[in-house]
Structure 1
Amino acid sequence: MNFVQIRRDLHRIPELGFQEFKTQEYLLSYLQSLPQERLQIKTWKTGIFARIIGKNPRKTIGYRTDMDGLPIVEGTNLPFSSEHPEQMHACGHDVHMSIALGVLTHFVFHPVDDHLLFLFQPAEEGPGGAEPMLQTDIMREWKPDMILALHIAPEYPVGSIAIKEGLLFANTSELFIDLKGKGGHAAYPHLTNDMVVAACSLVIQLQTIVARNVNPLDSAVVTIGKINGGTVQNIIAETARIEGTIRTLSVESMNEVKKRVEALVKGIEIGFECEARIDFGSMYRQVFNEAALTREFMEYVRSHTDMNVIECEKAMTGEDFGYMLEEIPGFMFWLGVDSKFGLHHAKLCPNEGAIDKAISFISKYIEFKGNQS
């Protein structure tokens, strides 16, 4: 099987969260082409559950991959660039899916004692597919006893993985703030309540939260990535919208940051005589790697594969796989793909040599776990 070609096929058809219809169709077509004697397939929204029946099952091992793309105009100029305008696999989920299919294919032909459950999860980039996927009847019936997942890492070389016990990724929350004042003619500002000015003032104030409200021994990030306001140059804006993200290393800090956001927005309402609405959108739990399983995985990879294992630091990235790790023991790791451009960049270009390497060493580890007495 050519899983690099599969990656390229998937790269052409990126789709946003819960819109992964072509992606699901492609994956199902491939899965249905495999021998079905031990393979059970069920769909949920745009996601897929695929279970391989074990030869002498005592437990179920789970493997999760995400499916969705990002609203980014691709800038790679690759011959297999996105065919969907303003959508791109700029976070590597095409690579993730091709690896998952490679591992699954291996075990269709070489089953282990235990059941294996492959989760093709939609909407990781938003609004979040992991939490509702966990709540399905399918998951309750086939729930794994342990679970693992990977995420590509452009900064690490091919042939390496990076991982640590405990906290790997941060708690994250979206942030949307809508302001409504009173618009009017640019020549008569005294008769208006300018929401562009209000939004600019609020953005500056939000940047004080981490500096002055978070314990300096803790870590938090408040980033504003988008502002919309106004219509033309000579009309004072009646509305404005601010969009951003909050990231913290503890749930307690997340709660405190949100309280401070609410207080600052209340001050803007009073000071600029406007109305404001806050939406914290989707919140993702921290990715916390179970210590014993993580240590065992690191030791196995070091001893039985040619992969280089790097003990990395925690990162402020977010991943809704954290919801799965709250309920199921397991871990996530970074997979080196050696790209000049980073995650969420229009020119992200993972080294495809990482795909077959990942399929090989993950299959070896799952074989070890799936036949473990």
Structure 2
Amino acid sequence: MQNLRDKIKKFFSPKGKNGSFFKRNFRIIAASILLVVLVAVLVYSVAVDSGRLRKMGKIEAGKANIENFEFDKEFIKDKKLNKKIKNLMNKYFEGYATADIDEMKEVATPVSGDEGNYIKFITSDYESFDNIKVYVKNGLTEGSYFVSVYYGLKFKNVDATVPGLEFFYLETDNKGKLYINNLYSSYNFSKNENAMDKTIYDLISKYEKQDDVAALRKDTETAYNKALAKDKDLAIAVTKIKDKIKEWSKKTEAAEEKAAKERAEKEKAKKEKAAKEKAEKEKAKKEKADKEKDKKKTEEKKSSEKKDDKSTEKKTENKQSDTVKVKGTGILVRDRAGTEGSQLVGSVDAGEYKKLGQEGDYILIQFTDDRGAHTGYINKQFVEN
């Protein structure tokens, strides 16, 4: 560190006007440079540690990157962890052998109703799972594990056991309890009953291709074949189980086909009902529109008739107001409204005359005599109301 300090001092101590500034502030500048160096070292250390965690699979849930994930080179040898996982698997297989689904659910979730029925169906001749061994590798997230479980399946009334190998994906819940994530059970892998996380699914496929896992599977197959060849009763028991699995498959396939048919019929009925309801709605809508249209036409017709009536009334009123009915005989007609300064233009007898206007008590009319057509004013007292 002293060499680094000397180099920094030499670098920041040039001759000249600026040299005094660097000389005066050397301790501050040098301390800053050293701090940067230390921060860089710390960042590098964290990066290395993060890389180690990725390789171990210990990455926070939701932040895992499958591209950077690396499987453990060998199975974990941590005795405490292996014992913990073995105890969990013992409980699982005890429940499985006796078809005690509730006991299985204590360590595995989810266990569907269909899987529970399957286990109850095929395990009637099971007695126990013996000689359980676990082979463990770190999983994708902190507290998760890829686990291969070797066991010897013991049938009722058969002395020998048949070797088997099963895969499990274990996780740790938020209370620190280890459990089997049963989404990745062999049953769900074959039936695809519940959706699986694609990242974990892909990693399980890669896990199965690991050399040590493949070797473990091969050794189990060899032991399986030897056991069946050696014990006739064991071979018969295994064949019986295979037949039961086939029977279950046919049974479930028939049930699934029936369910699919029922779903199709329900969907068809649903669509037909929807189409019928749609047609009825459209019909009702059309009928409503037609009624509104007819109503509008009726209203327009009434309105038109009303207008015609008003027009007729107006014409009648106009006609009535355009004429006056004079009563009496020899009614004097003047050239002006009133008696003062007006001249007589003629006289009229009782009858109907055209009204041209009105000024006060005098009405301007048009009349005809032997001299021709004339206009003049008559007092309204001579006009009938």
Higher relative contact order (CA 8 A, sep 6+): 1
Place the TM-score, normalised by the shorter chain, in its bin: under 0.3
TM-score (norm 1): 0.21
Say which one has the larger Rg. Answer: 2
TM-score (norm 2): 0.21
More helix by share: 2
